[in-house]
Amino acid sequence: MMKTTQFMRVLFLALAFWVGVATSGHSEERQTVGWVEKVSVFPGNLQLKAKLDTGALNSSLNASQIEEFVRNDEKWVRFSVTNWQNLTATLEQKLIRTARIKEHDRASNQRPVIQLGICLANVFKEVEVNLVDRSNFKYQMLIGRSFLQGSFVIDPARTFTVKPQCQGVPGQ
């Protein structure tokens, strides 16, 4: 009887620990970053200043000379990106879709959406990014929840706390 009671206690504690880990939401610690950070985008390995925005689902990139074209019967988009140091990269990416974006106090507009690699700190993810003229904004990129979730916690009192340092980025 004593052995059965001890076994049940050990089993109960192990089960409680397992349930706690399984329901914690993540198995790794999330990194705390500021509300503005430097990121690198791929292809191109161009470093940009980005606002991290938990209110936005997807990310947006300041792009100019946006031009859609057809390559091998698929829609593609060519665009230029310039960072704060006046370095410019012209990129070509397959067009995934066109998104209808509703802006606060403005009419909705159509934006091309591409798949883009983003490096923040040591985290690299490929996510959907819409292209738009953000030249009237302070930051060239807005990073949304589709990139941030599961990896980062944002401290609104901090800026530029990390540098993009991703290893083994495809095409780098």
Reported as a single tens digit per residue, the pLDDT across 112-160 is 999 999 999 999 999 999 999 888 889 999 999 999 999 999 999 999 9
Looking at CATH, the fold of the domain delimited by 27-159 is given as: Cathepsin D, subunit A; domain 1 (2.40.70)
- Return the DSSP state at 29: P
Specify the pTM. Answer: 0.79
Contact 144, 58 (CB under 8 A): yes
Q: What is the mean pLDDT of the chain?
A: 85
Q: Is the pLDDT of residue 28 over 90?
A: no
> Torsions phi, psi of 17, nearest 5?
-65, -45
29-58: pLDDT as tens digits: 899 999 999 999 999 899 999 999 999 999
CA distance 86 to 83: 5
